[in-house]
Amino acid sequence: MDSKASIAVTPPPPTPRLEPVRSAVGITPAARDEIEQLWGSVFFSAEHKAPRSVIVTGAEPDEGATEVAAALALVGASARHGHRVALVDFNLREPMVASLMGVPESPGVRDALASGELIGGTNVVLQEGQLTVVPAGRPDGHASAAVDPERVQRLIQHLLSYHDHVIVDAPSVNRNSTVQALAALTDGVLLVARQSVTRREALAEAKKRIELAQGKLIGLVLNMRKFPVPGFLYRRM
């Protein structure tokens, strides 16, 4: 397929193609208030227009960006808020969303961008509310096509047609060009830093890369400040 070819966008079926997955993933009570506050700061801040599509990334690897993205998606899709939220894994080299959320790894982003067929994702039934999870998909050698701006924009717009918010989990800014390819195609970038680990120089470099890509940095999450991010999520036994 020509790397510049566009994706044929077709409406998804009334119900997801995959059977709904009942997930046991949740947020620890101690961390829920923190995530609720973060949701309000990102999506209901008086300082900026409420974004519909947000990238969550770190300056460097292992900042906890995936857990923050998943926690935000869980809170937004909860019965309390009732938003239609899609959590999308664009960390194509080291995807974590499928295993974290307990959903099949494919079909996902790679499959959609390589085949030209946009999927609805996996409908995850939570104890409260529902969430659409679009994993990275099965590796197929089409990683270069996955960050083609035209294809990515069509995928994001397709998801926005059926969701209130799209939250994109992306690899670290300073180690991967994916965020730079996506930044201008979304409403904003949320940068995750790890206290006492992330260097100021790394944050400055990440900010510079986002701005050079014409992205909008809408916030900084200081991880490991009070509650460790991995503790945001747990599986109910």
Q: Residue 8: inside a domain, yes or no?
A: no
Question: Comparing C-alpha atoms, which of 208, 149, 144, 147 is closest to residue 184?
Answer: 149
Question: What are the strands, taking DSSP E only, across 142-184?
Answer: 165-169
User: What's the domain count of the chain?
Assistant: 1
Q: Residue 13: inside a domain, yes or no?
A: no
**pTM for the full predicted model:** 0.81
pLDDT, position 110: 85
Average pLDDT on 91-99 reads: 90
Q: Residue 16: inside a domain, yes or no?
A: no
Q: Residue 9: inside a domain, yes or no?
A: no
Q: Please write the tens of the pLDDT for every residue from 195-206.
A: 666 788 888 899
Rounded to 5 degrees, φ, ψ at 190 are -105, 120
Query: For residue 147, what are its two tokens?
Result: 């960050």
- Report the range out of 46-55, 58-67, 153-162, 166-175 with the highest average pLDDT: 166-175
pLDDT, position 231: 43
pLDDT, position 10: 35
Q: Please write the tens of the pLDDT for every residue from 131-153.
A: 888 999 877 654 444 467 888 88
Indicate the residue type of 22: R
Do the Cβ atoms of 84 and 132 come closer than 8 Å? yes
Query: For residue 101, what are its two tokens?
Result: 């959320």
Q: Residue 4: inside a domain, yes or no?
A: no
Scan for tokens 């994916």, then name that residue: 178
pLDDT, position 24: 58
Indicate the residue type of 78: S
Residue 179: give the domain boundaries: 21-235
Q: Residue 6: inside a domain, yes or no?
A: no
Q: In terms of pLDDT, which residue wins out, 47 or 153? A: 153
pLDDT score of 16 more than 60: no
> Strand 130-134 relative to strand 233-235: parallel, antiparallel, unpaired?
unpaired
Rounded Cα distance between 21 and 12, Å, is 18
Q: Please write the tens of the pLDDT for every residue from 68-82.
A: 999 999 999 887 788
Q: Residue 161: inside a domain, yes or no?
A: yes
Q: Residue 10: inside a domain, yes or no?
A: no
Any idea what the CATH number is for the domain that residue 27 is in? 3.40.50.300
Q: How confident is the model at residue 121 (pLDDT cuts 50, 70, 90)?
A: low
pLDDT, position 15: 35
